Structures are given as structure tokens and as C-alpha cells.
Structure 1
Amino acid sequence: MTHFNDRPVPIIDPRLCDGCGSCVRACPTKALALQDGKAIVADPLACEYNGLCEAVCPVQAITRPFEIVIAEEETTFSNSTKVVEKD
């Protein structure tokens, strides 16, 4: 997984990126930029990891890594709903 200061950042595959700039224009925090005709994460600390760049990329050059966290059975998280199956 790609991280910067323990924060996840999008992965941009330079082999797929065609340099169209759609992701750069879509990023509300200006975390992305074009360099040498390819998109890069220019300001990883500004990235909100909202997925807009991934959604607008016409060649699917951007992916957002994720982690799967397995919680213990009775663990709940804020703003979560516990699902209970009925017998």
C-alpha cells in the first residue's frame, strides 16, 4: 500500500496515464499535478482520499489502496450499525 506519513495516497500508474489532466482538475484540494505529461500526487498531505481522481480518470490509471481491518466480534465503531441476524 502506498502511504505518506501513515496516510494512504492514490496510486497513479504512469504507464496508463495519458496526461489528460482530468484528475488534476477534479481534485478539490489540488493534491495532484501534471509533471512531464503525467499525473502525480504532488501534495500528499492535501489529499482527502475522496476518490474523485479515480472516478474521473478515463484510462483507469488511478487506484486507491485500502486496508481490510478485521475487528473482534463485539467491536463497534462510531457511526456504525450493528447487524444482528434473526433466528
Structure 2
Amino acid sequence: MEKNNEVIQTHPLVGWDISTVDSYDALMLRLHYQTPNKSEQEGTEVGQTLWLTTDVARQFISILEAGIAKIESGDFPVNEYWRH
């Protein structure tokens, strides 16, 4: 998935839109992110609209919570920290 010499461009998340689609038991999610080298007002992009079933949304929440717990615990290898 990732080569050691590969640099992954990242964009800070600055907001989101979430709505429910009750007739399909699903959620729609659209992420807002900051574009590099642009001012905050002109650099905000809105990503594609994503469709999540309730099962996928629960998995997503679980993964986010696990990641937050790992970060807050400080329990990660030093070389993993430097890679980011």
C-alpha cells in the first residue's frame, strides 16, 4: 500500500456534512478539507458525497475511536511517529 520513499499528500479536515437517508438505512457524508498553499477562505474544498450503510458507519466510528485511543495512550513505535 505504501512504499517507504513515497510521500502521501494530506489535507487537514476542517468540516463535514452528514445527513441520513432513512429509506435506505444509510448516511451521506461529505468532507471539507484545506488545500495547501491557499488562504483558509479560498482553500477549502468539498469532497465527493460518500454513501455509508449503518454497518459501515459503525465500523468507521469504531476505527476512529481506536485510532484516537492509540494516539491518546502514546503507545506507538517511534518510527511510526516519524513517518507521519
Q: TM-score, normalised by structure 2?
A: 0.26
Of Structure 1 and Structure 2, the greater strand share is in 2
Higher RCO, 1 or 2 (CA under 8 Å, sep at least 6)? 1
Could you tell me the TM-score, scaled by structure 1's length? 0.25
